[in-house]
Amino acid sequence: MSTLTAILEPAADGTLHLPLPAAWRKLPIRIKAVLEPAESRPDAAYSAEWQAAFGSITDESFAAPVRGDARPVEPLAFR
């Protein structure tokens, strides 16, 4: 597994392109993404399009569940 942090510029169609290391280019890749603006700007707020597609939690009493401590896991080996 490789963890990276990058700031990517969206293409005109709104897609992001993530360059891969040469050794990974023919492998299936699992992606986990967290999307957030690189800089905090008032005009970068979630659009109506985003809200319509993904919704939002409007309940003021909502709180994320309490999580326990992280547990150690064995690293994965590449084949």
Q: Report how far residue 5's alpha carbon sits from residue 62's, in angstroms, rounded to the nearest whole number.
A: 29
Q: Report how far residue 51's alpha carbon sits from residue 3's, in angstroms, rounded to the nearest whole number.
A: 28
The pLDDT of 27-52, averaged and rounded, is 75
Helices (H) and strands (E) in the chain, counts: 1, 0
> Token match 């401590």: residue?
69
Q: pLDDT of 50-66, one tens digit each?
A: 777 777 777 888 888 88
Q: pLDDT of 2-33, one tens digit each?
A: 777 888 888 888 899 888 888 888 999 888 88
Q: Report how far residue 18's alpha carbon sits from residue 21's, in angstroms, rounded to the nearest whole number.
A: 10
